[in-house]
Amino acid sequence: MFKKILIANRGEIALRIIRTCKEMNIQTVAVYSTADKESLHVRFADEAVCIGPPPSKDSYLNISRIIAAAEITNADAIHPGYGFLSENSKFSSICAEHGIKFIGATPFQIDQMGDKSNAKETMKKAGVPTIPGTEGLLKDLKSGMKIAKEVGYPVILKATAGGGGKGMRIVWKAEEFEEAWNNARQEASASFGNDGMYLEKYIEEPRHIEIQIAGDQFGKACHLSERDCSVQRRHQKLMEETPSPFMTDELRDRMGEAAIKAALAVKYEGVGTVEFLVDKHRNFYFMEMNTRIQVEHPITEEVINYDLIKEQIKIAAGIPITGKNYFPSMHAIECRINAEDPYNNFRPSPGRITTLHVPGGHGVRVDSHIYAGYTIPSNYDSMVAKLITMAQTREEAINTMERALSEFVIEGVKTTIPFHQQLMRHPDFRSGNYTTKFLEGFRMDEV
Ligand code: MV4
Mean pLDDT of 31-38: 97
Q: Are 289 and 274 in contact (CB under 8 A)?
A: yes
Cα gap 277→362, rounded to integer Å: 34
Query: What pLDDT does 51 receive?
Result: 98
| pLDDT tens-digit readout, 190-227 | 999 999 999 999 999 999 999 999 999 999 999 999 99
Q: Is the pLDDT of residue 251 over 90?
A: yes
Query: What pLDDT does 225 receive?
Result: 98
Query: What pLDDT does 422 receive?
Result: 98
Which ranges of 224-284 does DSSP label H, i.e. alpha helix? 249-265
Domains assigned to the chain: 4-103 (3.40.50.20), 132-201 (3.30.1490.20), 207-441 (3.30.470.20)
Q: Is the CB of 132 under 6 A from ligand 1?
A: no
| pLDDT tens-digit readout, 324-376 | 999 999 999 999 999 999 999 999 999 999 999 999 999 999 999 999 999 99
Ligand 1 mutation target, pool 208, 288, 442, most atoms within 8 A of CB: 208
Cα gap 272→290, rounded to integer Å: 6
Mean pLDDT of 100-106: 97
Cα gap 133→206, rounded to integer Å: 17
DSSP-derived letter for residue 321 is P
Q: Is the pLDDT of residue 282 over 90?
A: yes
Q: Is the pLDDT of residue 447 over 90?
A: no
Q: Catalytic residues, which ones?
A: 292
Q: Whose CA is nearest to atom 11 of ligand 1?
A: 165
Mean pLDDT of 68-87: 98
Cα gap 93→78, rounded to integer Å: 12
Work out the end-to-end distance of the chain between its first and last CA atoms, rounded to an integer number of angstroms.
52
The pair phi, psi for residue 124, each rounded to 5°, is -60, -45
For residue 235, the CA-to-ligand 1 centroid distance in Å is: 8
Query: What pLDDT does 323 receive?
Result: 93
Cα distances (Å, whole numbers) of residue 270 to 210, 212, 221, 263, 317: 16, 11, 9, 10, 10
Nearest to 140 by CA among 105, 104, 178: 178
Q: Is the pLDDT of residue 161 over 90?
A: yes
Query: What pLDDT does 164 receive?
Result: 78
Strands 236-242 and 331-338: antiparallel
Q: Is the CB of 156 under 6 A from ligand 1?
A: yes
Beta bridge partners of 79: 7
Query: What pLDDT does 328 receive?
Result: 97
Q: Is the CB of 202 under 6 A from ligand 1?
A: yes
Q: Is the CB of 205 under 6 A from ligand 1?
A: no
For residue 93, the CA-to-ligand 1 centroid distance in Å is: 30
Q: Are 1 and 27 in contact (CB under 8 A)?
A: no
Q: Are 141 and 148 in contact (CB under 8 A)?
A: no
| pLDDT tens-digit readout, 286-308 | 999 999 999 999 999 999 999 99
For residue 288, the CA-to-ligand 1 centroid distance in Å is: 10
| pLDDT tens-digit readout, 372-421 | 999 999 999 999 999 999 999 999 999 999 999 999 999 999 999 999 99
pLDDT above 70 as % of the chain: 100
**Atom of ligand 1 at shortest distance to CA of 230?**
22
Q: Is the CB of 133 under 6 A from ligand 1?
A: no
SS3 state at 77: strand
pTM of the predicted model over 0.95: yes
Distance of CA 48 to the CA centre of its chain: 26
Query: What pLDDT does 163 receive?
Result: 79
Cα gap 200→148, rounded to integer Å: 8
Residue 376 parent element (H or E): strand 375-376
**Atom of ligand 1 at shortest distance to CA of 436?**
23
Query: What pLDDT does 165 receive?
Result: 84
For residue 340, the CA-to-ligand 1 centroid distance in Å is: 24
Mean pLDDT of 5-17: 98
For residue 301, the CA-to-ligand 1 centroid distance in Å is: 26
Mean pLDDT of 103-107: 97
Query: What pLDDT does 308 receive?
Result: 98
Q: Is the pLDDT of residue 107 over 90?
A: yes
Cα gap 421→425, rounded to integer Å: 7
Q: Is the CB of 3 under 6 A from ligand 1?
A: no
The pair phi, psi for residue 68, each rounded to 5°, is -60, -40
